[in-house]
Structure 1
């Protein structure tokens, strides 16, 4: 008999290998997925440098994905977001030691490519960094040496960026980061880096890695939430290929919005938490990805924005479910530790659920989390004469195949609603939960007394329907455009 290969030994994300709404079209992770341009031609998901190199090392070797067991190349950034004129530090381990390079891409819609090559590092000398430090279930690499410092030019556009790390012998990993700026824009996309880190199982080595969902026992078996970490660190790489679970949701929206010409600035949730962005500068805040973990300052900032007239767009489900806290790293850097006690009760007997703290999500979103959707189900159109469904061709009761997936929200009649001047449900969709019980999903829109619109899709499948191969739905594209056009006063 052959030796059994455990999932983590293959470098695959143990908790994500079966999630069709996680990464998105990343062909170096999933060769079966292809990206198509407007004419149906197959194009790469991102644009390589002009000479076709796999990276600036000069190698023509087909790149292979690094993993957390052998740590061929792994790294993390000193900050989730950075402004033009500032610098961002990358701490990278390379095993065996050899030269490597960093190619930086900006996510967008560039004639069909999913990103554009922006800059590259010189050839760098890689070293084997120390093993991660572990305190309880908290894993940190804050003691790693600096590998490369990138100065962000003043002319770089705000956006979602990915640093692609490539060794001389062809191993590849990734580090996502955000470039923010202070210019006014129609929309601000808030990238959910708190939720990305909550799901991060690095190192996925069968021994020391831990997230807010999982940890390992002494036999390399994956443990559940009750034995997972309470505190996780941003000072570590992301597991597997180095891209967060669910990052594809945000990239789907970014490519679509770029293609349709929307004026979008970018920031991450820690920017919102720390007050580095002013929501009043934008007509709308967009939360395109799975955005499950919120701090109290984040929620207050968004509620103030809504009450001052800034609209809110939530394009996923299970938003703002857990209340979390941020703290400094051992070296004193702010907001590098994320803490959530989950179901561990406080002295008042409360868990970390917003709804158990007397502040249900529905008070902001208009709907709230209902449960998982084990098999995709149709999204059933309701109130088809509403302006959001205009020019989509959708009629009352029409079924949009596969658009209720992953997780779902609904309206809770016994839970308080926000104050509103008008409110409507745009979908009411039956599905079966993990126990086979019949449930329903709903999509919500309300107008706050300030005039702000608050939209909540209530399904994981909304953002993928905008621009993901195999998931695109033109009716969802048009519906989303109807909403954003009204927020941006277009037409």
Structure 2
């Protein structure tokens, strides 16, 4: 590998502000599909990570890259993701002729099984004005080896775009198996779970594919609509929760499971201030996490202990425990913010329309009882009408009936409600909502084009309304309760309309 170097590009001064309509102008520029060679690798034979997950104009970013075998002529290319006439990416910056070599194996240390890639820096580059704020993939390539990508968010701090998109990098990292350990004990290698995970390593497996499946389809849709949007990560939301209140709506993708206390408090404060919040997924705000630093900088590690045992910080301050938000000592069920709570996983199938007259279905032509084939997968949420934490005016738009192997009935639900501030809160209720729009979900049968069009139009309706101000001022939430789970299952017209959960 060559010694660490600095990649330069024609510099542009950092803009003092973004003109209204900048995102539509950006997407009128020529795009490219070249970024797609890294999509299916799930982690390539060349890999890398950055010393930061978001940056703004003027910041310097260091890349740590490695290859399975010595390689000359490698490259690192930055693509801004969007619509771009359907190409979905635009090449912003590139450095060529990089020499790579194998870097040291991942190191696993301590009782927490902290896993890091102790690599030497490869190159450093500066975020200039040519890096239009947005969601980026940095693709590393080397001759004869499979490519891989590294997500990077370029922020426009202080901007007041109608929408703010919060990238869920804490959840990417929890599922990252690079080095043999993630925050889960059921990784492909059956490894023991880490209780502290590090951003100082490349993404692999579920962590790698999270942007492609859960977020980039939404980025494409937002930018196709031309809604000016500021991008930031959940780490940025933890650092400055007040930034949520700069926007009329805040958007999260298909899987935003891990939230810090500052994130949760900040989202509640934003909703109370009239900021709409859309959860285009499921299993959001489920487990508390804490951030801590690494030698590369602050907030580079995520503590997820799932227990009070052996946690001296939580012993001193129980509000910092990293257990599920609904569990003691936190006792803050996610339904108080989202409108419904986590159901489970292992059930894939089809939503049934329960409230076709809802404004969210405007223009879709759906009818009551219509089955939206293959729209639920991954994890799902469910409304509980008997819980005091469920908003009283929750509107259950659609539901998927589920039959467990035990014989018990269940359901997955899609909801909307309005807070006292008139802020609207939407929850898709399935982690696969974004990838259903793109027609590219793992482990889900093909969604018919007409059904994909319904999901896309419903998404557009939410995005446009949430970008316009407190949605409840024009779109009240009328309480619309679903049938009982048994009633929903029993009223299915066809056997295939009921999902069967494998456990």
Change (3 A) 1:155 1:252: same
**Residue 424 of structure 2 corresponds to which residue in structure 1?**
453
Give the Cα–Cα distance (whole angstroms) in 2 for the partners of residues 321 and 380 of structure 1.
25
| Structural mapping, 1:185-264, within 5 Å | 185-203=161-179, 209-214=180-185, 221-223=189-191, 227-239=192-204, 243-245=208-210, 247-264=212-229
Report the alpha carbon displacement of residue 432 of structure 1 after superposing the two structures with TM.
2.8
Give the Cα–Cα distance (whole angstroms) in 1 for the partners of residues 196 and 135 of structure 2.
26
Change (3 A) 1:221 1:117: closer
Give the Cα–Cα distance (whole angstroms) in 2 for the partners of residues 96 and 372 of structure 1.
39
Give TM-score scaled by structure 1 length: 0.78
**Residue 464 of structure 2 corresponds to which residue in structure 1?**
485
Report the alpha carbon displacement of residue 434 of structure 1 after superposing the two structures with TM.
6.3
Report the alpha carbon displacement of residue 152 of structure 1 after superposing the two structures with TM.
1.1
- Are residue 48 (structure 1) and residue 34 (structure 2) matched? yes
| Structural mapping, 1:58-97, within 5 Å | 65=41, 72-97=45-70
Report the alpha carbon displacement of residue 66 of structure 1 after superposing the two structures with TM.
8.8
For structure 1, the 5+ residue unaligned runs are 1-44, 56-62, 204-208
Q: How many residues align?
A: 419
**Residue 108 of structure 1 corresponds to which residue in structure 2?**
82
Change (3 A) 1:278 1:415: same
**RMSD of aligned residue pairs (Cα, Å):** 2.9
Report the alpha carbon displacement of residue 244 of structure 1 after superposing the two structures with TM.
3.8
Give the Cα–Cα distance (whole angstroms) in 2 for the partners of residues 411 and 355 of structure 1.
15
Report the alpha carbon displacement of residue 264 of structure 1 after superposing the two structures with TM.
1.9
Change (3 A) 1:93 1:249: same
1:384 aligned residue (356, 361, 376): 356
**Residue 22 of structure 1 corresponds to which residue in structure 2?**
none
**Residue 424 of structure 1 corresponds to which residue in structure 2?**
395
Give the Cα–Cα distance (whole angstroms) in 2 for the partners of residues 131 and 486 of structure 1.
49
Report the alpha carbon displacement of residue 284 of structure 1 after superposing the two structures with TM.
0.3
**Residue 436 of structure 2 corresponds to which residue in structure 1?**
465
**Residue 323 of structure 2 corresponds to which residue in structure 1?**
352
Give the Cα–Cα distance (whole angstroms) in 1 for the partners of residues 43 and 359 of structure 2.
48
Give the Cα–Cα distance (whole angstroms) in 2 for the partners of residues 124 and 369 of structure 1.
46
Give the Cα–Cα distance (whole angstroms) in 1 for the partners of residues 340 and 186 of structure 2.
32
**Residue 37 of structure 1 corresponds to which residue in structure 2?**
none
Report the alpha carbon displacement of residue 277 of structure 1 after superposing the two structures with TM.
6.5
Report the alpha carbon displacement of residue 465 of structure 1 after superposing the two structures with TM.
2.8
**Residue 59 of structure 1 corresponds to which residue in structure 2?**
none
Q: Deviations over 1:319-360 (max 9, x none)?
A: 11111111111x261111111112565668x87011112100
Q: Deviations over 1:302-334 (max 9, x none)?
A: 1111011110000101111111111111x2611
SS of aligned partner of 2:34: coil
1:412 aligned residue (347, 364, 384): 384
- Are residue 298 (structure 1) and residue 270 (structure 2) matched? no
Give the Cα–Cα distance (whole angstroms) in 2 for the partners of residues 151 and 384 of structure 1.
50
Change (3 A) 1:231 1:403: same
**Residue 42 of structure 1 corresponds to which residue in structure 2?**
none
SS of aligned partner of 1:178: strand
2:304 aligned residue (328, 340, 354): 340
Report the alpha carbon displacement of residue 46 of structure 1 after superposing the two structures with TM.
5.3
Q: Deviations over 1:224-282 (max 9, x none)?
A: xxx31111111001125983446421011111222222222211110001117711111
Give the Cα–Cα distance (whole angstroms) in 2 for the partners of residues 378 and 327 of structure 1.
41
Contact 1:316 1:460 in 2 (8 A): yes
Change (3 A) 1:64 1:267: closer
Give the Cα–Cα distance (whole angstroms) in 2 for the partners of residues 424 and 480 of structure 1.
16
Change (3 A) 1:241 1:292: closer
Give TM-score scaled by structure 2 length: 0.77
Give the Cα–Cα distance (whole angstroms) in 2 for the partners of residues 89 and 436 of structure 1.
54
Identify, as 1 or 2, the structure richer in helix: 2
Give the Cα–Cα distance (whole angstroms) in 2 for the partners of residues 302 and 339 of structure 1.
21
Q: Deviations over 1:108-165 (max 9, x none)?
A: 2222213222221131122332222210321112x42211112111242221111111
Give the Cα–Cα distance (whole angstroms) in 2 for the partners of residues 151 and 486 of structure 1.
36
Give the Cα–Cα distance (whole angstroms) in 2 for the partners of residues 386 and 457 of structure 1.
14
Contact 2:183 2:193 in 1 (8 A): yes
Give the Cα–Cα distance (whole angstroms) in 2 for the partners of residues 401 and 185 of structure 1.
35
Report the alpha carbon displacement of residue 64 of structure 1 after superposing the two structures with TM.
10
